[in-house]
Copies of this chain bind each other. A is one copy, B any other.
Amino acid sequence: MLALSDKPDTRFDSVLPTLAQCQTFAVGEHVFHEGDAAAAVFEVVDGVVVLYGITLEGGRQLMGLRFPGELLGLTHRETYGWSAMAVRRATLRRIPRAVLDREIEDDPDFAKRIIAACTSELSRTRDQLMIVGCRSALGRVAALLLDIAERTADGGPSFSLPITRGEMGDYLGLTLETVSRAVSRLKALKIIALPRNDQVIVLDRGRLRDLADGIGEGASRGRMAA
């Protein structure tokens, strides 16, 4: 198996139920911008948030997606190093920095939990790096679909795509056209079905997994091992 990470529970509500303070964001609304004072950490209660950075030419690199139960805004810096925007109407629990710091001071167990959240996020980012660095377009799209499926799946093989083709491209280091072609190919291969273009049904999870892991025709990029 490829070393794609498992996902430990790092939700805040299990440790900070009383400190909850919720806030909702409309589609396209920002939770914070790159450079804003890093005044709080957030947990997604409902909806979907994307994290992204902007290159000097205006290119966008999505750093991650956040689904319910996941964290965003964790940093020790004075300001956020990236932006966070809701792509579905989202409700977030807000934990002010001061509260976070105090809690870390007072509760070693909480500190460990934060460290767990960080290293977990680190693993996820590394996996992402591995995918962007090593996989072909088809492999990358397969990996993203599988990731979303696993993080949002209510058990069934069907899920909804929270982001556009263009955003998928920004996430995977591809253009929207290439993403569209890859999705069409997966459909043609009968690995997925698309009742609507933001609705995916996984027909053959095994083959999707193989593509995401880099197995099979054209799933990998770059020189093969000797």
State the A residues within 8 Å of B (CB).
2-3, 5, 8, 34-35, 53, 55-59, 61, 63, 74-77, 81-82, 101, 104-106, 108, 111-112, 114-116, 118-123, 125-126, 128-130, 132-134, 172-175, 213-215, 220-226
Residues of B within 8 A of A59 (CB): 134, 214, 220, 222-225
Q: How many copies of the polypeptide does the oligomer hold?
A: 2
Q: In the complex, A53→B125 CA distance in Å?
A: 13
Q: Are B76 and A8 in contact (CB under 8 A)?
A: yes
Q: In the complex, A220→B55 CA distance in Å?
A: 9
Q: Out of B75, B101, B132, which one reaches A123, CB within 8 Å?
A: B75
Q: Are A134 and B55 in contact (CB under 8 A)?
A: yes
Residues of B within 8 A of A213 (CB): 55-56
Q: Out of B3, B55, B58, B115, which one reaches A34, CB within 8 Å?
A: B3
Q: Are A58 and B119 in contact (CB under 8 A)?
A: no
29 residue pairs bridging A and B, Cβ less than 8 Å apart: A3-B81, A53-B126, A56-B215, A58-B224, A59-B134, A59-B214, A59-B220, A59-B224, A59-B225, A61-B133, A74-B122, A75-B122, A75-B123, A76-B112, A76-B119, A76-B120, A77-B119, A81-B126, A101-B112, A104-B108, A104-B115, A106-B108, A111-B111, A115-B118, A118-B118, A118-B119, A125-B126, A132-B133, A173-B222
Q: Whose C-beta in chain B lies nearest to the C-beta of A75?
A: B119
Q: Whose C-beta in chain B lies nearest to the C-beta of A106?
A: B108
